[in-house]
Amino acid sequence: MWGSQSSSMYKRTPSRDYSPVVDVEDNSRLLLDDDDDASKETETTNPPWICSLPHVLVATLSSFLFGYHLGVVNEPLESISSDLGFTGNTLAEGLVVSVCLGGAFIGSLFSGGAADGLGRRRAFQLSALPMILGAFVSGVSNSLAVMLLGRFLVGTGMGLGPPVAALYVTEVSPAFVRGTYGSFIQIATCLGLMAALFIGIPVHNITGWWRVCFWLSTIPAAALALGMFFCAESPQWLFKQGRIAEAEAEFERLLGGSHVKTAMAELHKLELDKTDEPDFVTLTELLYGRHSRVVFIGSTLFALQQLSGINAVFYFSSTVFKSAGVPSDMANIFVGISNLLGSLIAMVLMDKVGRKLLLLWSFIGMALAMALQVGATSSYLPHFSALCLSVGGTLVFVLTFALGAGPVPGLLLPEIFPSRIRAKALALCLSVHWVINFFVGLLFLKLLEQLGPRLLYSMFSTFCLMAVMFVKRNVIETKGKTLQEIEISLLAKP
């Protein structure tokens, strides 16, 4: 039943020779000026972006769900603890919030194998299943143990979905809009967080509303699972499986018929340029093999993203705004708007200024925002000025994070990873992301208590400056290049 609607079409589509060799007909056509001009125009025209847009939008439902489940317990947590009988138990409340991170770590470990073994579409559908089941279990829970089980199940889907989304969006997008489409992932995450916030508003007035908050998430999860039946499979994945005719058909759906020959020729050229390598990718190869450097770059980017203090800022933002007299729900709205605004700006700039420049601007801006936070702790400043610096620093930090450090790593890494290791290498890097995310969340309040905000925020600012130097030295620009061009350029380097 999986993809049965399109498989019959593929069988009727003959495989054509797209080897990068000029044939006799092409040579004779060079004698005709008009035909030569038309050929050049065909080659230089970008494929229609509208063909791939619906497939990308369906894929970003997984990112929407990721954001939604990150924020779904923020407002209802007090009601949940009251109804399930653990009011005042901070450990239990912390587990309800963070147990999904453990599930996400497990899910991310299996995301590469699922994406390579089942294909991108089936991996999406697989990620939707635990999110549907976990949301239902959480909604009907009558004890802490059942709630934790539901949250863990949701977490496995959260860990599985985003890596597949990053892979899929990168592989089905035309090169000239791949950065813009990649930004949709961050925007969808922001919208999911904001949706969770708004849906949770009635929880203090309507008894049991927190159950509805969980159940509503099954709608986009079901839409993701069903929508993938009608979406294209990744042509790169099909080509790796030897399903050449199907890859041609999917390229035609995504790029239009006039661009199929060029896309397939690039895949064939890439295959010819590769040395003999086994299809199976081991952890040892990722850590110590010929591609270990790009894996190191990816893992370090995600590590620096988390060590910049973004989650600490999210955790502490309500307290900062509360000290300025702003209610917590309004604080969440302000932070959410800053996050969304930065993501929208990134979407506009991603394919204009490039990934590397956005990363540099982002980390520099985050370092300056942390410097504002450090300045706000000075005893020489008037109270009002300190509050303005603290609130302004928080919003600027979130805005600049969403400008580059948030969306770029998830887009850049699938671009620089060779197709053979892409899924598993991204899964490894995201596992690093989840581990550091967990420890930052676990240790932040303890470090804040022992070190104080000035020293802690100075450390975060230092990590941001380290990220600037790392990006400047190690990250390559991928704007406007096809995945095959990027891989060939990397293979050419010693």
* Dist. CA 119–CA 78, nearest whole Å: 41
Kindly indicate the confidence band of residue 424, based on its pLDDT and cuts at 50, 70 and 90: confident
CB 154 within 8 A of CB 100: yes
Closest by CA to 131, choosing from 121, 120, 139, 143, is 139
Placement of tokens 């925007």 in the chain = 187
Tell me: pLDDT of 492 over 80: no
Q: Report the pLDDT value the prediction gives residue 330, as an integer from 0 to 100.
A: 74
Rama region for 32: left / alpha / beta (φ>0; ψ in -120 to 50; rest) = beta
- Per the listing, tokens 């959410």 go with 336
390, 313 contact by CB (below 8 A) = no
3-state secondary structure of 291: coil
User: How distant, in Å, are the alpha carbons of 32, 100, 101, 304, 394 from that of 446?
Assistant: 75, 21, 19, 20, 20
Residue 14 has pLDDT above 60, yes or no: no
Q: Who wins on pLDDT, 274 or 156?
A: 156
CA dihedral 66, 68, 70, 75 (to 10 degrees): 180
pLDDT beyond 70 at 300: yes
pLDDT at 493: 56
Give the single-character DSSP code of 370: H
Tens of pLDDT, residue by residue over 379-423, are 777 877 877 888 888 889 999 999 999 888 888 888 888 877 888
On the question of pLDDT at 36 being above 60, the answer is no
Q: What's the CA gap between 166 and 173, in Å, rounded?
A: 11
pLDDT in tens, 127-169: 999 999 999 999 999 999 999 999 999 999 999 998 899 889 9
Banded pLDDT at 91 (limits 50, 70, 90): confident
Report all structural domains of the chain as residue ranges with CATH numbers, in order of start: 49-232 (1.20.1250.20), 283-493 (1.20.1250.20)
Q: Give the Cα separation of 245 and 452 in Å (integer).
A: 61
Mean pLDDT of 255-272: 78
Confidence check: pLDDT of 198 > 70:
yes
Structure confidence at residue 324 (pLDDT)? 63
Identify the pLDDT of residue 386. Answer: 78
Cβ–Cβ under 8 Å, residues 401 and 324: no
Read off the tokens for 217: 């998430």
Closest to 160 in 3D by CA, of 442, 440, 426, 422 = 426
pLDDT tens, position by position, 140-149: 999 999 999 9
Helix (H, G, I), strand (E, B) or coil at 1: coil
d(CA 415, CA 412): 5
Half-sphere CA count of 212, side-chain side, radius 13 A: 11
pLDDT recorded at residue 274: 57
Is the CB of residue 36 less than 8 Å from the CB of residue 29?
yes
Task: Kindly give the interhelix angle for 144-172 and 408-416, rounded to the nearest 10 degrees.
Answer: 60
Is 407 strand, coil or helix?
A: coil
* Alpha helices for 119-177 (secondary structure H): 120-140, 144-172
Structure tokens of 75?
């407002």
**DSSP 8-state class, residue 477:** P
* Average pLDDT, rounded, for the chain: 81
